[in-house]
Amino acid sequence: MIGTLSTLSWLFLVVSFGAIVPVVPTGAAVSGAAVLAMHTHPLTVVLVVAVGAAGAYAGDLVMYAMCRAGGEQLARRLRWLRDQDRLSPVKDRLQRSQVPVLLVSRLVPGGRVPVLLAAAVLGLSWRTFVVANAPACLLWAVLYAGIGVAGGSIFPEPWQGLLAAIFLVLLVSQTVSLVNRRRAARDPTDASSADAPST
């Protein structure tokens, strides 16, 4: 039980930090923790989902506060945003439908940072962000924990399942990024989630 608590504590720290520093592979962390949980105490997969979602939520709150305080200048300085032109279409989508865009942004690899920044620049209220981001983080954690369980159930050894889960996460992330790049190449106004670091 102590080992499980330690793993969950590390998971929370890694995911919350990765939500602020987008180069940390938070999805792989949740998938890996789900693999280990499935091989030791299968019921703790639920805790992995809850802790992963809580870490993502906490990190997103910090990230959104930083975006509101520093805006586009801070994002450029921290290299969160590589292409200034990517903000315009995201702003347009947010003005039309705020909650669905926030929900989807967490599920699309590389889509979260431009949406958070655009929401901050547009002055999206804290209340709207807090409400919309909670189910987004939960759905994200369920998705990546599911990838971990799927990878872990194929192999008898935890390390094999862990490698399979990481491979699946990378495969999904790279596939979505490739689709987004091709879509952006065909339609420059739809470049909101291409060429961004995956979380």
- Identity of the highest mean pLDDT range in 1-10, 53-62, 146-155: 53-62
pLDDT tens digits for 2-40?
A: 457 788 899 999 999 998 887 778 888 898 888 888 878
pLDDT tens digits for 73-115?
A: 766 665 555 555 556 666 677 777 777 887 788 877 777 877 8
Domain that holds residue 132: 2-190
Assigned domain for 90 exists: yes
142 pLDDT more than 80: yes
Assigned domain for 108 exists: yes
Structure tokens at 29: 């962390």
Assigned domain for 118 exists: yes
Assigned domain for 197 exists: no
Assigned domain for 196 exists: no
Assigned domain for 92 exists: yes
Assigned domain for 24 exists: yes
Assigned domain for 80 exists: yes
